[in-house]
Every structure is written in structure tokens, then in C-alpha cells.
Amino acid sequence: MAPSSSPTLTRSVEDYLKAIYHLSLGGTPAGTTEIAHLLELAPASVTGMVKRLSEQGLLEHVPYKGVELTAVGRRAALRMVRRHRILESYLVAFLDYTWDAVHEEAERLEHAVSDGLIERMATALGNPSVDPHGDPIPAPDGSMVELVYTPLSEVPVGEAVELRRVETGQADRLRYFAEHGLVPGAAVVVTSRQPFGGPMTVRAGTHEQLLGAELAGILLCSRGEAQ
Amino acid sequence: MAPSSSPTLTRSVEDYLKAIYHLSLGGTPAGTTEIAHLLELAPASVTGMVKRLSEQGLLEHVPYKGVELTAVGRRAALRMVRRHRILESYLVAFLDYTWDAVHEEAERLEHAVSDGLIERMATALGNPSVDPHGDPIPAPDGSMVELVYTPLSEVPVGEAVELRRVETGQADRLRYFAEHGLVPGAAVVVTSRQPFGGPMTVRAGTHEQLLGAELAGILLCSRGEAQ
DNA sequence: AATCAGATTTAGGCGACCCTAATTCTGATT
DNA sequence: AATCAGAATTAGGGTCGCCTAAATCTGATT
């Protein structure tokens, strides 16, 4: 008999798949403890679930080594990512949510919304390709165009760039960035930088702004046409 | 210790409370089999859950007699009714759903949406007091203004009334009504009626329309200023 | 008052998920 | 090669919510 097809995935399963997807983005398989940490579960619980899911053909588990999604699992994970990002986009665009407040809401809705509603929201949004944080939105078929950007921390002094993506889900950081005009689409110039991973100053809009290396590392930019 | 307060209710529990609320509207306590039928569960399962919920103070269960909500239980049920009806209204108003298609979607979303999002949707809608079917929407505090309407089946021949509420959740019936202009707000005139609960003819907008007694009984109308 | 159908409850189980405690493995260190 | 810390797994439990099958109750009938 074929593996899981119609027997709709559980909320928990959807969370596992999405977590494993995110953890595997770096190329290395996800560890069970790592998954446990992300989902706020005990590692032993993850081992059990992982065993079940690999029996269902959603992921590949090499004991003591790590977990990777199968093609079927990845498709399900990307479906959740699409739902999450469409929801975030919709809530920000039409229901006055701020970009630091949408995550939690989307996290619950992504399990409850029908495919049809997601597509209606996508249509209302004009089928966007990125969400409010600049994260790419997978297409309904699971394809996703992921552009490569330069962390602001690596942009040379004097160069003008466009901020494209803010890679964090932490609400306090997102709020901080928004307050200082550091949102996708903003034009930014690096005005100075201390050596050895030290802080830098940037100009976004009108005012100058001091920025630590860690934060600058999660601000992804596209550089001008040159080079 | 006080009964349940913060320990958020389960999806199942929310469904039970809402079902019992609807079944108790007539004034008589809900039977377990009745609940089982509505929720598509085995009666034995309902007995078990009902016992747990009455221990939690959400409802009152007299074995072999019936189930009624406590004040706490009713509040929780009305909260779900509000969520459901706000969701239906929002989906119809902003996302192109038809009134026969919203129920299923709202049924799942009502468990996942935050109070904050519901209130944002309500605001976007202009804080409506009725949903697309004309059903009253409870206020956030649980209060609800329920007007008394006359079933179209009891409106005298020749009288002009306004259709206010369509009391069914069955998609095929809703579609039928919509196709014939029988939606809340429509002006309707009873043009003839057969005796002994027989069919009647009504005029809604331009054309004459034959209508059986059963369907006419779920179309609720407000009668003119006279009497 | 005996009987009966149907509603209701009790008994016993099962699957999905989670937990803690105890054990085992792995890779690095000495 | 022995040791060790930390990661990962196994063992054993618990809860929630559902099910089927087997009592039991209730109100109406005769």
C-alpha cells in the first residue's frame, strides 16, 4: 500500500515537518534534540514521533545521526510554509497587524485554514512572492525562488544597498528594526564600520544609526547593479 | 479550587459546548444521543465527555435526563458562536465566499483564531449585529439581541414582509434560496397559499415562486409597521 | 403490573502525543 | 585504548478523546 496520502496530517505532525524543514535548510540533517528545542518538547518525545513519521515515509531517520525530509515530507512542509507566510502577509496587509505580531497568530491558523482560503488570501494580496519579513513564499506547487542576499554586516562602507529581508522571528528585534526604518524595501547606506566584527553605523532614510554586528548579520540586502 | 478558568478549552470541548448550546435553545436539556448525532460521535463517547465537563463546572448533567450549560459553559459557548458568525461574515464580505460555503471554513477557524483577530475582523465589518444568514452575533461580553420573527409559512396572503433570517446550515438549501432571491433583506409578498400546510407562492423581486411549507418555515420575516 | 424499545451509561480498549528516568551510543580527549 | 560528556534512544506511564459491546434505566404500552 502506498504511504500516507489522504489521511490528513495532524497538527503535531505539521509542526514537526515544518521544524525539520527549517532546521535542514543549512544542508545538515536535523538532530532530535534540536527539533525538541524548537518545538519545546522533550527529546525523547521527538525520537518517538520521528520513528512514526519515518515509517509513514515523511522523513528519513538514521538513528543517532539525524533526520531529513523525504520528497513527500518536504512537500507537506513547504505547504505549511506557504500557509504561514500568506497568512502573515494577509494579516499585515488587511487586518492591521504589525510584522512583529503576526507570527503567533499565523502559527495557529496555518493548521486550520483550508487550501481554498489560502488561495483566496493570496489572490487578494496579488500573489506576493515574499512576506512582510522578506521571506520567500513557496508557490502552491511547492516551488520557491530563494534569492541570495548579502548580510548588511558584509556590505562595504559607503555602499548603498536595498534592505530585502529581515531574518528573525523575535518580536522585540522586529519592533526595534521597524522603529528605525529597517524594513524590507528601505534604502540603506553603510557609513562606517569598526574592525574585528565591531559595530557599524548605517543611514536609513534621514538619520544615522548604530548597529551591532549580530543584528547587521540578519539584515539581508541586495547590492546595486554594479558587480 | 475554582473551576476551569485559564486552562484553555480543547477543540473538542468547544464543539461540545457549542452543540449543547444550540440544542438547548428550545428550552429543554440536550440528550446525549442528540449531542452525539450533531457531533457525529458515538453516544457512549458523549456520556464520558459530558461527565468530565460537568465535573469541570461547564455543564450540569442529570443522568438519564439531559445536559444543560452552566453560566460558565454558556459564556464559552457564546464566545464560539460569536467567533463563528464573525468569521462567516468576514469571509463573505472580504474573501468572496458565498453564504452556503462559509460554514465549514468557519467551523475550523473558530477554534484557532485569537480573540484579537476576531475583534479586528469585527471592526473591519463595522461591528455587525447579524451574520450573512441573519443570525444574531453575540457581543464580546456574551450579550445577544435576538429578535422574534415570523416564519414566512405563517404570513397571511397578500402581506408584504422583509426577509430577515434564513435558519438552516444546509448548503444546498442556502444555494437554492440565494438563486431565488430569498436572502436577508429581500422584500417578499405572499401571493397565495394552499390550506392544510400546503405549498404557497411568494413574490421576491420580479418573479413568482412556489414554496413548500417546510422551506417557508425556516424563512423568518419581520412584518410591516402595522400590528 | 409486566413488558419492551430506545435512550443512556458502564466496561474495556485503542491510538496519538507527551513526559521522566534509565540506558546506550558517538565522537572527542587524553 | 580507556574514558567521558552529551546526544539519542528505550522503557514505562499518563491524558485526552474516541470506539464497540454489554449492561441498565425510563417512559409508554398493553
Give the gap in angstroms from C-alpha A191 to the nearest C-alpha of chain B.
41
Q: Which residue of B has its CA nearest to A124?
A: B95
pLDDT at B146: 87
Residue B131: pLDDT band (50, 70, 90) is very high
Give the global pTM: 0.92
How far apart are the C-alpha atoms of B14 and B25, rounded to whole Å?
Answer: 17
pLDDT at A226: 44
Percent of chain B predicted with pLDDT > 70: 96
Burial class (CB in 10 A: 0-12, 13-18, 19+), B156: exposed
How far apart are the C-alpha atoms of B149 and B166, rounded to whole Å?
Answer: 11
Three-state SS letters, chain B: CCCCCCCCCCHHHHHHHHHHHHHHCCCCCECHHHHHHHHCCCHHHHHHHHHHHHHCCCEEEECCCEEEECHHHHHHHHHHHHHHHHHHHHHHHHCCCCCCCHHHHHHHHCCCCCHHHHHHHHHHHCCCCECCCCCECCCCCCCCCCCCCEEHHHCCCCCEEEEEEECCCCHHHHHHHHHCCCCCCCEEEEEEECCCCCCEEEEECCEEEEECHHHHHCEEEEECCCC
Average pLDDT over residues B50-70: 96
Q: What is the pLDDT along chain A (227 residues), one digit of tens a residue?
A: 443 345 689 999 999 999 999 999 988 999 999 999 999 999 999 999 999 999 999 999 999 999 999 999 999 999 999 999 999 999 999 999 999 999 999 999 999 999 999 999 999 999 999 999 999 999 999 999 989 999 999 999 999 999 999 999 899 999 999 999 999 999 999 999 998 888 999 999 888 899 999 999 999 999 875 44
Write out pLDDT tens, residues B10-43. 999 999 999 999 999 988 999 999 999 999 999 9
Nearest to B186 by CA among B99, B122, B97: B99
Of B94, B105, B117, nearest to A105 by CB-CB distance is B117
Instruction: List C-alpha distances in Å: A53 to A9, A66, A107, B202.
Output: 10, 13, 21, 59
- Using the beta-carbon criterion (under 8 Å), do A114 and B120 form an inter-chain contact? no
| Cβ-based contacts with strand C at under 7 Å | A 10-13, 40-42, 44-45, 48-49, 52, 64; B 31-34, 43-44, 46-48, 50-51, 61, 63-64, 66
Burial class (CB in 10 A: 0-12, 13-18, 19+), B153: buried
Protein CA at B8 to nucleotide C1' at C12, angstroms = 30
Instruction: List C-alpha distances in Å: A59 to A13, A14, A31, A68.
Output: 11, 12, 13, 6
pLDDT at B196: 87
How far apart are the C-alpha atoms of B226 and B166, rounded to whole Å?
Answer: 23
Write out pLDDT tens, residues B173-213. 999 999 999 999 999 999 999 988 889 999 998 888 899 99
What angle in degrees, to the nearest 10, is found between the helix axes of B32-39 and B11-24? 120
Nucleotide with the nearest C1' to A42 CA? C19
How far apart are the C-alpha atoms of B34 and B45, rounded to whole Å?
Answer: 12
pLDDT at A132: 96
Backbone angles phi, psi at B191, to 5 degrees: -100, -25
Q: Which residue of A has its CA nearest to B111?
A: A112
Protein CA at A134 to nucleotide C1' at D18, angstroms = 43
Helix (H) or strand (E) holding A45: helix A43-55
pLDDT at B26: 87
Chain B residues with a Cβ under 8 Å from any Cβ in chain A: 91, 94-97, 104-105, 108-109, 111-114, 116-117, 120-121, 124
Q: Which among B117, B121, B125 is the top mutation candidate for probing chain A, defined by the most A β-carbons within 10 Å of its own β-carbon?
A: B117
Q: Which residue of A has its CA nearest to B102?
A: A117
pLDDT at A227: 40
How far apart are the C-alpha atoms of B85 and B93, rounded to whole Å?
Answer: 12
Which residue type sits at A171?
A
Nucleotides of C under 7 A from a protein CB: 7-12, 16-22, 25-26
Helix (H) or strand (E) holding A22: helix A11-24
How far apart are the C-alpha atoms of B125 and B146, rounded to whole Å?
Answer: 20
Protein CA at A43 to nucleotide C1' at C23, angstroms = 15
How far apart are the C-alpha atoms of A112 and B106, rounded to whole Å?
Answer: 10
Nearest to A7 by CA among A58, A60, A63: A58
pLDDT at B186: 94
Relative to beta strand A219-223, strand B200-204 is unpaired
pLDDT at B54: 96
